[in-house]
Structure 1
Amino acid sequence: MSDTPDDLVIQTITPTTHDLGGFKVHRTLPSRPRTMVGPFVFFDQMGPADLAPGNGIDVRPHPHINLATVTYLYDGALDHRDSLGTCARIRPGAVNLMTAGRGIVHSERSPGDQRSGAPFSGIQTWLALPEAQEEIDPAFEHVEADALPVIRGEDAKARVIMGSLWGVTAPTTTYAGTIYADIVLEPGGSVPIDPAAEERALYCGLGDATLDDVPLSPMKLYVIRPGVAATLRSSAGGRVMLCGGDAFATPRHVWWNFVSSSRDRIETAKEDWRAGRFPKVPDDAEEWIPIPEVPKTVSYP
């Protein structure tokens, strides 16, 4: 991680990579130097990977509190099931928004038609909820790709996943000021990055990109100085995620799958999961992820 100040980029976060057997996950948030960018408190790139025949993604049922998860795929498919009884398949360009609120349990698994050998790639993020909404009722929302606005420009296009950017607004629910977009740049393509939020970051998941004269290395998160406008470009073609939103006035604590403004609330969630007090996932209740001794996902306050 480099946090050398720059006129444009104020922080560069290098991911922690986890090998999950068959594919890798690259995590830039939360990190030791920074936990959040706007409401974004977790940022994972899944893959890219070519899943071997007979293999697939099998994330067993596990709990969340006080956050919303956002799943967005570049390639492949996932079946989402949760304790509300939801069963929804997500494909590239669509978005799954799961609001945990006071507590939810879900699983994510590859569909049968993706287990004969298939590519898999995507981004999963978590959004912290404002304190007044941390304990709201859990909910699930699926927005199809054709319902999300797409802006086209000079050898580039951008799909707005959440919030308002470039004069359009996504229909996806937001709980705090949020911007989130998938930017695809053809060789020589460019897109303006306006100062549309208090906190912003760019993540080059595939290919190459520069922000003005600053090269964006793949799989690193670049936090942009507030109030500065710049131009995102690519020489050979690239795919970049823009994320951010309103800065939170109070910190969030992260431990495993639990996010909260209160450490005591996280301790309660741990005990509830150990004691089996969370609801079950219909049709996927035979197995679950036990609470870890040492979690891979933590904040560093």
Structure 2
Amino acid sequence: MLRIDGQPRDLGGFRVRRLLPHPERQMVGPSILFDHLGPAEFAPGEGIDVRPHPHIGLATVTSPFEGVLRHRDSLGFVQDIHPEAVNWMTAGRGIQHSERTPPEVRAAGHRIHAIQTWVARPRAHEETGPAFVHHPAATLPVIAAPGARLTLIAGTALGATSPVAVLHPTFYLHVEAEAGAAIDLPDEPAELGLYVASGAVRLGGARLPAGTMAIPGPGPCRFEVEEAGHVMLFGGAPMDGPRIVWWNLVASDRGRIEAAKAAWREAPVGGRFGAVPGGTEWIPLPEER
């Protein structure tokens, strides 16, 4: 079993715990980035402000436990995402978006706790057009288990199928469990990861506290919940080769990364990545800050 402890990363005014990619493991199934935001308290007037930035070659998957984030993208979508709903943004050949705390939430003070992952696109679909889909919480399958509630975010598991469309065999499940619950890990995905967002679990004799990811070996296994909390199970079939990850860009070859960097440098507003309506801000390339 590979155990991963998250590393803090600054995303422009707030910090996240980053678990993937990791020096010993780039991907689990198609999941190539795994960030844990919060839990964090914001005083009235404070909030998250991630300015418009570009993506290629991936889909971003955002699902909060608590709080609200407002998504805006260059396709014109504006969508507040509430707890247990899912925003699935496909970058394809290029998109830009911003993520901010809505003004009314910012004014009141608030708490945020969320997970964001990136899902790599199969090679045959890296250059497809961008897209955005929002899935309200009520549309996602919920599976009841003793002492636990399991919400299927994407893929097929435990006899249920999520409405979130995927291009590669994918598995993403949110488990909210009480102390004493025992969950059998699905044996369908060839690659499986477990992340303890809050609480604590025991897996294969090892205690995993909040903020810990584990990638168990092949074969059936289960985890026992020692402290109530949130656990994410994710993975799927192995991806069709490694990927290059540079900043917010993902691709199977360096040329696509370099072309995207050049396009963002030359025209961050109105060029290849379009523009987020209502604003002229953008985040410069890291090498140019």
**Equivalent pairs: percent with the same residue?**
46
**Deviation for aligned residue 1:294:** 8.4
Q: Retained in 1: the 8 A contact 2:177–2:230?
A: yes
**Deviation for aligned residue 1:22:** 7.0
Q: Retained in 2: the 8 A contact 1:22–1:51?
A: no
**Deviation for aligned residue 1:235:** 2.2
**Deviation for aligned residue 1:229:** 1.1
**Deviation for aligned residue 1:20:** 5.6
Moved over 6 A (4+): none
Gaps of 5+ in 2: none
Q: 1:128 aligns with which of 102, 120, 128?
A: 120
**CA displacement 1:86-137 (0-9 Å, x = unmatched):** 0111000000000000100101111112212101010000000000000111
Gaps of 5+ in 1: 1-8, 296-301
1:95 and 2:86 correspond? yes
**Residue in 2 aligned with 1:287?**
281
**Residue in 1 aligned with 2:264?**
273
Question: Helix, strand or coil: the match of 1:206?
Answer: coil
Residues 123/294 of structure 1: CA separation in 2 closer, same or farther (3 Å cut): farther
Q: 1:32 aligns with which of 20, 23, 28?
A: 23
Residue type matched to 2:244 in 1? H
Q: Retained in 2: the 8 A contact 1:22–1:49?
A: no
**Deviation for aligned residue 1:191:** 1.6
Question: Helix, strand or coil: the match of 1:274?
Answer: helix
**Partner Cα distance (2:10, 2:97) in 1:** 21
Q: 2:9 aligns with which of 9, 15, 18?
A: 18
1:172 and 2:164 correspond? yes
**Deviation for aligned residue 1:215:** 1.6
Deviates more, 1:28-37 or 1:87-96: 28-37
Structure 2 length as normaliser, TM-score? Answer: 0.95
**CA displacement 1:234-293 (0-9 Å, x = unmatched):** 12212100010010131101000000001110000000000012211112x321100001
**Residue in 2 aligned with 1:188?**
180
Q: 1:149 aligns with which of 141, 147, 150?
A: 141
Residues 247/50 of structure 1: CA separation in 2 closer, same or farther (3 Å cut): same
Q: 2:248 aligns with which of 253, 257, 262?
A: 257
**CA displacement 1:131-189 (0-9 Å, x = unmatched):** 00001110000000010001111111110000011110100011101000110111211
Structure 1 length as normaliser, TM-score? Answer: 0.91
**CA displacement 1:197-241 (0-9 Å, x = unmatched):** 011000001011112422223212211212x11122212212100
Q: Give the aligned length.
A: 284
**Residue in 1 aligned with 2:38?**
47
Residue type matched to 1:138 in 2? P
The RMSD of aligned alpha carbons is 1.5
Question: Helix, strand or coil: the match of 1:37?
Answer: coil
Q: Retained in 1: the 8 A contact 2:12–2:49?
A: no
